[in-house]
Structure formats: C-alpha cells, structure tokens
Chains A and B, each alone.
Chain A
Amino acid sequence: MRRMMTFAKRCFAEVLRDPLSLLFGLGFPLVLLLLLSAIQANVPVELFEIERLTPGITVFGLSFMTLFSATLVSRDRESALLQRLYTTPMTGCDFILGYMLPLLPMAVGQTVICYAFAALLGLTLQVNIVYAVIGIIPVAVFNIALGLLCGSVLGVKQVGGICGALLTNLSAWLSGVWFDISLVGGGFEKAANLLPFVHAVEMERALLSGNIELAAGHMLPVALYSIAVTGGAVACFLLQMKKQ
C-alpha cells in the first residue's frame, strides 16, 4: 500500500508539473464552454444550451486523461525509469493502481471546475450536479484505463498521434456533444451507440436533469466498457512488464 501510494504521489506530480496537462486538461474544456455559450447567446441551438452542453464538455474533457495516462506510462517505459522500478520490490498491482489512482481525483476535479465555470455562465446550481460529478467516475476510469492500455503498448510518439489526435476526435465525433448523431443516422449512429462515448454523455445529461432511470440505462454500457478496458489495460501492462 505504501509503495503504491508513493508511486501514485510521483505520478500525480509528474502530470501536474507538465504545463501542457493544465492547458489541455483544464483550459481547453473551459474555453469550449465559453465559446459555445457565446455562440448560443447569439444563435440559440438546443444542443448548446448550458444544461446540455456542460455534461458533454465534462465527458469530452476526460479524453485528455487518456492522453495523460498514456503519455506517463509510455514515457516511463522509454526512459528506463520503469526498468529501475522493476528491480525493486514493487508489484504489478502497485504499478497499475499507482498510475490510475492519481488521475481519478484530477478527473473529478476537472469536472467540478467545469460545472463551477458553467454556473458562472448561467447553469443553475442544483443537487443534480453532485450526482453528475459522482457519475463521471466510471467514465474517468474508462478513459484512464484506456490510457494505461495505450501507454503499455505504444511509444511516446505513437501515443501523441493515437491518444492525442485519433481518440480525442473519435470521442468528440461519436459522443453527440457537437451534433445530434441521430441526424446522421445509419451506420454512424449504430457505431456510436455501440461505443461508450455517447452513453457517457447521455448519462451525464440525464443525471444533471435528475432522470436517474435514464441515466442507469446509459451507465450500463459505460460500466461494462470501463471493466473491459481496465482488464485489457492490466493484462497489457503486466505483459510488457514480463517482457522487460
């Protein structure tokens, strides 16, 4: 436990001391909220109403957690730091929890700041915000585990391309944050519904509006994806650890 906490503390510091993390993790979602709210004020669009927009932005913002965790793991693998730590009494469990746990409070903190900022832009302060913040946890676990998985198999440059560009775009396009995916319909809609992104956004919207039943329906695929991706991430990390 102590070993894991020490390693987690180190990972927390590594991410927080990277100025790009703060810029993208916090700055980007807030800028998006501000910009889209400004557009909404001039050209009203239902999708960009603050009650619908904020949950979407909080989910989209978490895609940066994937980038952070993937970059952290792949950098450690390439820098030989992991090699050193593999020669200490640290176990696979210490590593995995040490990488994942510090990003969880960051993800929750990012969501809280987004909601606080949205309140300044007109979102009504209500108890449902607390439910939405709690509901973000499985989404955060999914994103962080996806980063651990990518970081275990990809190099630093590949992580930048795949997690920084591809996954961020994928989660944006297939989440229904920017446009209603039912308007596209067909295979696109089916693909989006098979993936967790749109369910995560709908779950957050439902939680914010107080519709717990609808939220529970969307939470199921999100939870299943979180469990599956976490399992895959653990397997990939242990495999590369063994290969070392």
Chain B
Amino acid sequence: MNAVEIKGLRKLYRNITAVEELSLEIKKGELFSLLGTNGAGKTTAVKMLSCLTRPTEGDALVGGHSIVKEPDKVKAIIGVSPQENAVAKNLTARENLELICGIHGFSREKTCERIKELSAQLLPMEVLERKAGKLSGGWQRRLSIAMSLVSEPDILFLDEPTLGLDVMARYELWDVINALRGRVTIVLTTHYMEEAEALSDRVGIMKEGRLLTVGTPAELKAKTGEDKFERAFVSIVREGNT
C-alpha cells in the first residue's frame, strides 16, 4: 500500500521551474530520501506534499488525501520538521510540546501522556524544562522532530534533519530516525550521502527540479558501477546534465 502517490507535480515561481513533472510512489512504512544538489527542488517538493505551497500543476495523494483538494485532511495525518529549527525559543521544551498538543486538541491527560512518551524517546526530563533557545543545535533539532511527532503522524517529512549538526549529534539523530522506521512513513531530504545510504529504504535523486532516478542505495551503486554511494550520486547527477 502506498502512503504517498505523486502525480505529475510541477511548481513554478514566476518563470523559474522549481519542480518539474514529479511522479513517485512511496510505500507505507518506507523511509524515502530525496537527494539533490542545491536548488534541485527537494524542499519545494516537501513543501507541496505538506500543503505549505500549492502545486502549479499536478496533485499528490498523501495518506489517500489530495494535497490540492483536501489539505486539511492531509495536515491532520502528517508531521513536518522544517529545515530550520522551528521552535518557540522563549518557551521551554515542554511548553513547545504542549503548544503542539493544544493545537491538535489533546486533553490535559493525553498531553501529559504524549510528552512522557516523547521524553522517553527523544528528550530527557532535564532538557524538557530548559528554554528551547538555550538548547544546543542537536537538542533543538530533537525537539523540532519531537514536535513533529506529537500528533502521532502517519507520514513524517524531515527536511535536512541533520544540517549543521556535529558528528555525534548527527549519529544520535540517526538512531532516533531509525527507531521510527516501520512505524511511520518518513520522507527525508538530505545533502549527506552517508546519511541517505545509512537510513533509506529507497532514494530519489533530483536535479534542477526533475527526478532523475529512484532505487535502493545498492541498486543505484550497481546501476552506475560505483562502489561508493557518493560516487554513484555524482555519476547520476553528472549524467543528468547531458
């Protein structure tokens, strides 16, 4: 069963084509990564799928709901962690989670229960009581992901989740993402090849708004005859030039 079905998505910003004829299917429970160089259209694709921006043409079914005709139904079943840390900096980590719980209409009991669960998975108690603005980049990113998981989404969009983090924080976040594997369908964008290879079930490579290829990291390496995934990526993107 497919969690996401993208049918000919296109996005134009004035005369610039950000995404061109994107068609793709992502299976339920899959961890799918969108890779590409800067300006490849990854973030725009995620923005369209999460109903942040309306496609110029085409449509996509997210959890069976159209992003064009039923954005409210889509919003009810997705979680989004944007590229930057989208947290309220003057609130504590707990208050940030409470904010999202309240927005999703949780009762006080459910809010407490959910925060307890998320705390066990992602944020220790001592971090919960600290102001979000005072947390390190790694903890802020964890909080940002925890906020996107509050509503127990069916589909989670992670836009460059480890961007700007040090190696240790990045590995810790990989563990978090791996722990979600199978329970939630994850669509992830990243610039880091080792991250895509380590985490993804399948990978889609984009360039200048177009999806060049889709496959497992092993398939893409075999297809290009490269033994390293990064070289396979470079080879695919370079071929995409011609």
Contact A84 B99 (CB under 8 A): no
Which one, A7-15, A30-38, A57-65, A215-223, is touching chain B? A7-15
A79 at the A/B interface (Cβ < 8 Å)? yes
A84-B80, A84-B147, A87-B78 known; A7-B86 Cβ under 8 A: no
Which one, B47-55, B165-173, B202-210, is touching chain A? B47-55
Q: What mask results when residues 2 to 20 of chain A are scored 1 for a CB within 8 Å of chain B, else 0?
A: 1101110110011001100
Contact A87 B53 (CB under 8 A): no
In the assembly, what is the distance between CA of A244 and CA of B102, in Å? 23
CB distance from B95 to the nearest CB of A (A): 7
Chain A contacts of B144 at CB under 8 A? 84
In the assembly, what is the distance between CA of A2 and CA of B98, in Å? 12
Q: What mask results when residues 144 to 161 of chain B are scored 1 for a CB within 8 Å of chain A, else 0?
A: 100110010000000000
CB distance from A13 to the nearest CB of B (A): 6
A86-B52, A87-B51 known; A13-B103 Cβ under 8 A: no
Closest to B99 in A: A10
Closest to B78 in A: A87
Contact B95 A13 (CB under 8 A): yes
Chain B contacts of A244 at CB under 8 A? 52-53
A83 at the A/B interface (Cβ < 8 Å)? yes
Chain B contacts of A88 at CB under 8 A? 75, 100, 103-104, 151
A6-B99, A84-B86 known; A14-B91 Cβ under 8 A: yes
A191 at the A/B interface (Cβ < 8 Å)? no
Chain B contacts of A18 at CB under 8 A? 90
A2-B105, A10-B91, A13-B95 known; A80-B52 Cβ under 8 A: no
In the assembly, what is the distance between CA of A2 and CA of B105, in Å? 7
Chain B contacts of A81 at CB under 8 A? 86-88
Contact B99 A7 (CB under 8 A): yes
In the assembly, what is the distance between CA of A244 and CA of B48, in Å? 10
Chain B contacts of A41 at CB under 8 A? none
Contact B83 A84 (CB under 8 A): no
Interface residue tally for chain A (C-beta within 8 Å) = 23
In the assembly, what is the distance between CA of A135 and CA of B174, in Å? 57
Chain B contacts of A89 at CB under 8 A? 72, 75-76, 103-104
Contact B103 A90 (CB under 8 A): yes
In the assembly, what is the distance between CA of A10 and CA of B82, in Å? 20
A85 at the A/B interface (Cβ < 8 Å)? yes
Contact B86 A83 (CB under 8 A): yes
Contact B103 A7 (CB under 8 A): yes
**B-contacting residues, A64-87, CB 8 Å:** 79-81, 83-87
Output the residue of B79, B81, B99, B103 with the most chain A CB within 10 A.
Answer: B103
- Say which residue of A3, A9, A79, A87 sits within 8 Å of B89 (CB atoms): A79
Contact A6 B102 (CB under 8 A): yes
Contact A6 B86 (CB under 8 A): no
Chain B contacts of A5 at CB under 8 A? 102
Contact A80 B82 (CB under 8 A): yes
Chain B contacts of A3 at CB under 8 A? 102-103, 105
Q: What mask results when residues 30 to 54 of chain A are scored 1 for a CB within 8 Å of chain B, else 0?
A: 0000000000000000000000000
- Say which residue of B51, B79, B90 sits within 8 Å of A17 (CB atoms): B90
CB distance from B170 to the nearest CB of A (A): 20
In the assembly, what is the distance between CA of A85 and CA of B50, in Å? 11
In the assembly, what is the distance between CA of A18 and CA of B89, in Å? 11
CB distance from B57 to the nearest CB of A (A): 18
In the assembly, what is the distance between CA of A38 and CA of B103, in Å? 49
Closest to B54 in A: A242
Output the residue of A2, A3, A81, A87 with the most chain B CB within 10 A.
Answer: A87
Counting from the closest, the 6 A-B pairs by CB-CB distance are A6-B102, A84-B86, A80-B84, A80-B86, A87-B80, A17-B90
Not counting A79-B87, A86-B52, A88-B75, a sample of 7 additional A-B residue pairs whose C-beta atoms are within 8 angstroms of each other reads: A6-B98, A13-B91, A79-B85, A81-B86, A81-B88, A84-B148, A87-B52
Residues of B within 8 A of A (CB): 50-53, 72, 75-76, 78-91, 95, 98-100, 102-105, 144, 147-148, 151
In the complex, 8 of the A-B residue pairs with CB atoms within 8 angstroms, ordered by the A residue number, are A9-B102, A10-B91, A13-B95, A79-B85, A84-B82, A85-B103, A89-B75, A90-B103
